[in-house]
Structure 1
């Protein structure tokens, strides 16, 4: 059920009992910043972006969430950010109150959530590293490598990466203009590190890309 943590059958059954399977079409909100926080989520399939609405009206994307990942941080009773489905996405919705009660009888499940929190911290560190590379072409190349770790979106036989997000999402996440995304994709293609098949499908030469880091 989870990549890095093995549940017993009893624990899995208990967690499944309090979970509801839900679906969100692409570009639909799962929850909105400031909304009362009642649930945590795990992605069954699809992908999600987390964004924070700034006072000047902009939305800052700070994380992409992938299959088997969990999300739904609650601060002072509300969600501090919005979660939006990038593609057709299926999720497990877990009531926070029921989860707290479940941990009382199945304390090992808390370890699972702590491990997920650690994975989230590692992802935040990777984002910080990507967003601070002085060369924007290196930021984009590193981002494509990160995306290629997701088996649901990367075919290792054909080396084709299907992007779940659009160019505006990528630009916001990496901290540059939308036009820069297009220009850097062309530069990567000129360097023969990628080959664009369409706006969302890209052939990656992962070995050559790794050599520039």
Structure 2
């Protein structure tokens, strides 16, 4: 259901549906670019998105991975401050900013609901900061895999198989480590019996042992 986790009455839901569009973006597709005029707010129906910032020295920093129900596209001075790129086939709700501002004037309670929804994005950036504080790369990468396992669309709790939506370069850019370091550390985690790689983006992970390792 569209905006199923929003506590809206029938009229509010109808009004929000009226200004929203359902769109599809294929994998590795740029939804918008850094410093581009902000025209839309987005909510992920299904799939996954990365938010990345291009530094002045040309380096790319991924600072958030977003999943189903996450909202993104917030603006600063009318511009997107980062780029948004799909990781896999992704379906989105697209909401024009002018129409949303007009709707909020007549139905101010919707603004509160959007602010509550935006907290999911804030929590994503907080998790990134927490992962970056781990001094050991093994804990940093293991913690990242544990975070990914919280996404039901990508983790089978019965088999403990995690399907990564992102590739190793994305992971390296997110954790602030070299691509080669990511590959070596995955091998270390496998040698520790914390993961068992099944393919380049599928692995069986021992979530309980990872939690114990991170807490030590």
Query: Structure 1 length as normaliser, TM-score?
Result: 0.96
Secondary structure class of the residue paired with 2:53: strand
Query: Residue 3 of structure 1: CA displacement?
Result: 7.3
Secondary structure class of the residue paired with 1:199: coil
Runs (4+) of structure 1 exceeding 3 A deviation are 1-5
> Aligned pair count?
213
Query: Residue 106 of structure 1: CA displacement?
Result: 2.1
**Is residue 48 of structure 2 the alignment partner of residue 23 of structure 1?**
no
Report the equivalent of 1:158.
Answer: 159
CA distance in 2, matches of 1:53, 1:107: 35
Secondary structure class of the residue paired with 1:27: coil
CA distance in 2, matches of 1:2, 1:159: 29
**Is residue 35 of structure 2 the alignment partner of residue 34 of structure 1?**
yes
CA distance in 2, matches of 1:93, 1:70: 10
Q: Is the 8 A contact 1:24 1:88 kept in 2?
A: yes
Q: Is the 8 A contact 1:3 1:68 kept in 2?
A: no
Task: List runs of 5+ in structure 2 lacking aligned partners.
Answer: none
CA distance in 2, matches of 1:143, 1:92: 27
Report the equivalent of 1:197.
Answer: 198
Alignment of 1:54-73 (within 5 A): 54-73=55-74
Report the equivalent of 1:206.
Answer: 207
Query: Residue 108 of structure 1: CA displacement?
Result: 2.0
Deviations 1:81-123 (A, max 9, x none): 1000000111010001111111122222112211122222222
Report the equivalent of 2:186.
Answer: 185
CA distance in 2, matches of 1:70, 1:3: 13
CA distance in 1, matches of 2:35, 2:179: 27
